[in-house]
Amino acid sequence: MLNRPQRSPWLLLCLLLIVVPASFSQAQASDSAPVKKQLPADVRAYKAAVAVVDPEKRLAAMRSFVKEYPKSRAVSDAQDQILKTLLDNFPERTVEIEKQAKLTVKSSGKRDVAWALAEAGTNGVDLKLAEKFAKEEAAHLSEASYDKDRLASYVKYKETPPKPEVLHKGYVKARAEALAALADVYLHESKSTQAAALISEAFTLDPLVDDVNSLRGRLALLDHNDGLALESFERAQLVGAISTADRKKMMELYRGAHGGSEEGFDAEMDARYARLFPPPFPAGKPATKDVHRTVLLELFTGSACSPCVGADLSIDAVLDAYPRSEVVALAFDQHIPDPDPLANPDSVARRQMYDINGTPTFVIDGVVQNLYGANRDGSRELHDKVAKLVETYASLPSGVELKLSADAASGGVSRLIHAHAIGQLPNTGEVAKIIAAKPKSDEPATAAPKADTKAAPANAMPAAAAPAEPQLVVNFALVEDEIRYSGENGIRFHRMVVRSLAKPADSGFRVTAGDNFSLDASFDPVAISGALRTYLDDYEQHNDTFGKITFISKDTTIRPSHLAIAAWVQDSVSHRVLQAAFIPVSQQQKEAE
């Protein structure tokens, strides 16, 4: 509580005499500045109990919390924590564990408790009870009972129920997980024949469940089938997560199969990922009508953002279908909705320049588009819209010539990358006309909404709002054409990630309408990599959105063989982009292009 300054007795008396009804005046402020908060008392008490390090004292603190706050929403978490603490630290206290397991089942369900018991200690704890729970769960779970339970919820809340195929997909996953829980118990009870039958059934039902794949790996180890064990553990990691022990075994198996080296592990996982998650649709290029410019397609995305999955995949397909002479696609990662280690100060500043709040957001030639994200299944539809927009913008006149070259300086440690752009600009009047040119109005998804349309993005520029005096700039981006990083949304490969800009995101090298230009920019990948690492280190400690965080990975290695340069001519007033260009840095890439 604040120690507020004492008021004079007279003033106090006056205030006591005049009982002023509280007004309901209120204001809502959205403030990103960190404010110290006072959580509800039960949440504070629970957090304090979780923070107790000594397991015996933590148990006491948790039990005391449950007793003191029996109606708190954190009670179920506390029951989980009590069971976990017992299993992790006191597996010999079987009577206590049994009692706690029965309590925990009420909030966590039989399957999770069975799994926790089976995975505890060196070879499970109270496997008899675990088997009972797992069997009951598996016996209860039929497709009819699953559908009945699910549909009842939708009826209760008057919501449209999911399609039958979605329900079925949910059922097979739930069934596979239930069978996996029982198989896990059987494996710990050395009943491998029963376990094998269940694992096989579960894998047939849903081969993308991490636990099923982990168990398949463990079973293969028992059968001395190291190849299948390795494959299963790798699959488990790619579709979800595996335990520390399984991961250790996986790496052991990999080294054993590769002369003691782990060098090719990532490449093998890449290939397996590609097989598990092939492109959801074949990349195809619509028949190009008129291409008058190279379109700049900017995607503001996030590796923790679920609807960004469809957006990322749609951009992948655009990149595969179109040559860089027609489309330059760039990804600007954001800390939305969660921290993203591929984000950097320039990518964040570029989003701020466009006044974009959410991810994913597509910007084509400087115009924010009325497009949304999607899941993997929706990526094709999204791609088709993006491709159509790209075609539309490509058909607009440009009048700007832009030629780009780039080379990595040989020798030295840094290997500076030099980029050189030359170009020619039309006169001011022509530039104004080009900026004012709008996509055809019959295109359904273009960002040329009426200025007063409520649904229009706030920053979508009405096509007629060209500035009287354009201020043209050229900027360069250092781009890594592919980064391997498995973030929260499961996307493993991130393409065309912008690592750095030559000039601040909202500016560039000034160029003059009617003139030729010749510009140079250089990038030092080693210095940029170091700066990115510092940025991520700082962000973990200080940011105004999340408090202290830990990134999944802080690998800021920039691979020289994957570098490219993008450049574009943009009107810094309207943000309209008039021309773009792209060039790989390495000879190998240039040849591939």
In the range 106-135, which residues lie near another protein by CB under 8 A?
A: 111-112, 115
Q: Does 368 bind another protein (CB under 8 A)?
A: yes
Q: Which is nearer to another protein, 124 or 360 (CB)?
A: 360
* 96-104, 147-155, 190-198, 324-332 -> range binding another protein (CB under 8 A): 147-155
Question: CA-CA distance, 200 to 205, in Å (whole number)?
Answer: 9
Which element (helix H / strand E) includes 216?
helix 210-222
Q: Which is nearer to another protein, 7 or 248 (CB)?
A: 7
Question: CA-CA distance, 131 to 125, in Å (whole number)?
Answer: 11
Shortest distance, position 535 Cβ to another protein, whole Å: 17
Shortest distance, position 71 Cβ to another protein, whole Å: 8
Q: Which is nearer to another protein, 339 or 470 (CB)?
A: 339
CB atoms within 10 A of CB 495: 21
Question: CA-CA distance, 533 to 484, in Å (whole number)?
Answer: 16
Please list every residue from 247 through 266 that binds another protein, using CB under 8 A.
none
Question: CA-CA distance, 23 to 96, in Å (whole number)?
Answer: 53
Residue-wise burial string across 36-66, b where 16 or more C-beta atoms lie within 10 A, e elsewhere:
eeeeeebeebbeebbeeeeeeebbebbeebb
Tokens linked to 129: 């009870």
Question: CA-CA distance, 247 to 230, in Å (whole number)?
Answer: 10
**Which of 308, 315, 564, 567 contacts another protein by CB under 8 A?**
308
Local structure of residue 376 (DSSP, 8 states):
G
* 54-62, 364-372, 469-477, 533-541 -> range binding another protein (CB under 8 A): 364-372
Q: Does 23 bind another protein (CB under 8 A)?
A: yes
Q: Does 39 bind another protein (CB under 8 A)?
A: yes
DSSP 289-312: ----S-EEEEEEE-TT-TTHHHHH
Q: Which is nearer to another protein, 95 or 455 (CB)?
A: 455
**Which of 200, 306, 428, 507 contacts another protein by CB under 8 A?**
306
**Which of 457, 470, 508, 525 contacts another protein by CB under 8 A?**
457
Shortest distance, position 24 Cβ to another protein, whole Å: 5
Work out whether strand 327-333 and strand 577-584 pair parallel, antiparallel, or are unpaired: unpaired
CB atoms within 10 A of CB 450: 9
Question: CA-CA distance, 149 to 568, in Å (whole number)?
Answer: 55
**Which of 355, 381, 520, 537 contacts another protein by CB under 8 A?**
355
**Amino acid at residue number 104:** T
Q: Which of 37, 68, 65 is nearest to 51 (CA)?
A: 65
Q: Does 372 bind another protein (CB under 8 A)?
A: yes
Shortest distance, position 211 Cβ to another protein, whole Å: 6
- 516 beta partners: 424
Q: Which is nearer to another protein, 118 or 318 (CB)?
A: 118
Shortest distance, position 203 Cβ to another protein, whole Å: 16
Please list every residue from 197 through 256 that binds another protein, using CB under 8 A.
210-211, 240-241
Q: Which is nearer to another protein, 177 or 365 (CB)?
A: 177
Question: CA-CA distance, 181 to 138, in Å (whole number)?
Answer: 9
Which element (helix H / strand E) includes 128?
helix 127-140
Shortest distance, position 116 Cβ to another protein, whole Å: 8
**Which of 24, 287, 541, 592 contacts another protein by CB under 8 A?**
24
**Which of 31, 165, 452, 591 contacts another protein by CB under 8 A?**
31
Collapsing DSSP states into helix, strand and coil, what is residue 80? Answer: helix
Shortest distance, position 490 Cβ to another protein, whole Å: 6
Q: Does 357 bind another protein (CB under 8 A)?
A: yes
**Which of 54, 95, 135, 153 contacts another protein by CB under 8 A?**
153
Shortest distance, position 340 Cβ to another protein, whole Å: 11
Please list every residue from 41 through 60 that binds another protein, using CB under 8 A.
41-42
Between CA 299 and CA 304, with CA 302 as vertex, the angle to 5 degrees is: 155
